[in-house]
Amino acid sequence: MNTEELAVLEEEWLSRQRSPTKDRAALYERIGVYAAWRDIFKQYVARAREGDVEAVKRALYLVWAERSGDPLLTGVKGLDEGSIIEVFHLVDGLARAGRIDGELQWMLPYYYVIDPLYLDRFEGYDALKRASSAQPFLLYRQRCLTGSFDHRGQMGEYWKTKQAHLRRWP
C-alpha cells in the first residue's frame, strides 16, 4: 500500500475505535484494532526502508504514540520492538546525514519533551537524540500551524488537533 492508501485504512480503524463501550480493551482485542495498528505500523516500516520519508514520520509517530498515549485512544499497542529499533535507526541515519526535514525538525523535540523514554529506553541513536534536543520545544507552536495534515493518518489527526488548539489559544 502507498501512504495515501494507508491513511484511508487508518481512518477506517479510527472510526471503529470511537464507539462507546464499557470494556473497550476487550473489544479492541476482539475486533482486531491492536492487530490492525501493528500491521499498519509494519507497512509504514516497510515503506520507510524504501526511503519514503513520510512513512518514516508516520512510523515514528506511532512509536511515540504507543508510549505516550492511551492505547484505548490510539489503538496502538504491542508494536514489534525490532521494527521500532529499525525506525530509530532510519531516523538516526537521516540525522547523521543532515537530512532531517523541516517537519521532523520540530516534531522530534516535541515528541522527546513529551515522553523522552520513547527514545531513551534504547541505547545509541546519538544523532537522533541530538536532533531531538537541537531545536526549542516550542518551535512546534509556529511550524505546526503552517503544515498540512489532511490524509496523513493518525499522525495527521493528532497534529490537526494541535493546530486547532494553537489557533484557539495562541
Q: What is the pLDDT of residues 14-25, one digit of tens each?
A: 887 776 667 888
Distances, alpha carbon 88 to alpha carbons 66, 68, 138, in Å = 14, 16, 23
The segments of the chain whose pLDDT lies below 70 read 19-21
Residue-level pLDDT at 20: 65
Half-sphere exposure (Cβ direction) of 162: Cα atoms closer than 13 Å: 21
At position 158, the amino acid (one-letter code) is Y
Distances, alpha carbon 26 to alpha carbons 17, 33, 63, 67, 121, in Å = 12, 10, 22, 20, 28
Domain residue ranges of the chain, discontinuous segments joined by +: 3-168
Q: Can you tell me the distance from the alpha carbon of 91 to that of 52, in angstroms, rounded to the nearest whole number?
A: 11
Burial code of 68-97, b = ≥16 C-beta within 10 A, e = fewer?
A: ebebeebbbbebeeebbebbbebbbebbee
Residue-level pLDDT at 26: 86
Q: What is the DSSP letter of 170?
A: -
At position 85, the amino acid (one-letter code) is I
Q: 3-class DSSP state for residue 71? A: helix
Residue-level pLDDT at 21: 64
Contact 149, 130 (CB under 8 A): no
Q: What is the pTM of this model?
A: 0.89
Residue-level pLDDT at 162: 96
- Using CB atoms within 10 Å of the CB of residue 26, give its burial: 0 to 12 exposed, 13 to 18 middle, 19+ buried: exposed
Question: Which residue has 525538525 as its cell numbers?
Answer: 105
